[in-house]
Amino acid sequence: MARVRAQDIVVEFPIYASGTRSLKKAIMNTATGGVLARDASNRMIVRALDGLTFELNEGDRVGLIGHNGSGKSTLLRVLAGVYEPRQGYLSVEGKVASMLSITLGMDMEATGIENVFMRGHIMGVKPRRMRAMLDDIAEFAELGEYLDLPMKTYSTGMMMRLAFAVSTSIDADIVLMDEWISVGDASFAEKSRLRMDKLVREAKIVVLATHNHGLVRSMCNRIIRLEHGAMVADQDV
């Protein structure tokens, strides 16, 4: 069962310039009474998401579109459980796989295998399950003997291939992506496209933030358009 329900969610980022973040300022403010109210209203706030209401159900392939700074990535992070909405109600049912940063937690000094397990831990996969998937990952990444070498000996492409292989080997109900991930040379790109297709097919809900309208047309059955953090369109295609 996978479902996402959002009711009037608002995400605001307070801007802490050097002044507001220091303790001195906070103490001064409380000490000088009246300033507090002024400061509270004067504090800069960026409203990244402004009262979004939507429901995602099984089978939804959502294309999230909008200009830079329209709140696409913020919304993905909210769905990934990074930011809790300041106001409103959000419920996410189902296992979430976030493809937002596939190299997070990787250690250049550690070997490829060690990093596979590290990524597993971060994504909440037990070592036992990870071991079962190791062959598949190794075969897909085509790194051969390199898997036993420290990652710093890898080229950027090799590292991305490994990261990609690990992240896409995990099955989840809800898949979040910020732009389509494409790695490697021509032949590998084709292979990774097939793997992504499979991942998208098997997931119950997919949310993809992108600027590529062609991609949205081919992958998605629903489009949500954001503008200045507000939802201006939500349509099936």
Partner 1 sequence: MNDLAGAFLGSPVWWYLAWQDIRQRYRRSVLGPFWLTASTGIMLAAMGPLYGVLFKQPLNSYFQHLSLSFVVWTFVASAITESCTAYITAEGFIKEVGLPYTTHITRVLVRNVIVFGHNLLVVVIVLMVFPPEVWVRCLLAVPGLLLVTINLFWIGSILALVSTRFRDIPQIVVAVVQVAFFLTPVVWKSEMLGDHEGITVYNPLYHLVEVVRTPLLGKHPQSISWVVLSVSAIVGPVIAMYVFGRFRSRIAYWV
* Residues in touch with partner 1 (CB under 8 A): 13-14, 16, 21-24, 26, 77, 80-84, 96, 98, 100-101, 104-105, 107, 109-110, 117-118, 120-127
Angle, helix 127-141 to helix 112-122, in steps of 10 degrees: 130
The nearest distance, CB 90 to partner 1, in angstroms, is 11
The nearest distance, CB 52 to partner 1, in angstroms, is 17
The nearest distance, CB 118 to partner 1, in angstroms, is 6
The nearest distance, CB 191 to partner 1, in angstroms, is 26
Category of 80 on φ-ψ map: left (φ > 0), alpha (ψ -120 to 50) or beta: alpha
The nearest distance, CB 96 to partner 1, in angstroms, is 8
**In this complex, which beta carbon is closest to partner 1, that of residue 74 or of residue 210?**
74
**In this complex, which beta carbon is closest to partner 1, that of residue 64 or of residue 220?**
64
**In this complex, which beta carbon is closest to partner 1, that of residue 73 or of residue 212?**
73
Q: Kindly compute the dihedral angle of the four CA atoms of residues 181, 186, 188, 193, in this order, to the nearest 10 degrees.
A: 40
**In this complex, which beta carbon is closest to partner 1, that of residue 96 or of residue 223?**
96
Angle, helix 112-122 to helix 156-168, in steps of 10 degrees: 40
The nearest distance, CB 26 to partner 1, in angstroms, is 7
**How many angstroms separate the CA atoms of 23 and 31, rounded?**
12
**In this complex, which beta carbon is closest to partner 1, that of residue 69 or of residue 234?**
69
**How many angstroms separate the CA atoms of 212 and 63, rounded?**
10
Tell me the CA distances in angstroms from 36 to 19, 32, 43, 217, 231, one per residue in order.
14, 8, 10, 51, 34
**In this complex, which beta carbon is closest to partner 1, that of residue 22 or of residue 91?**
22
Residues 6+ apart with CB under 8 A from 233: 223, 224, 225
DSSP 66: -
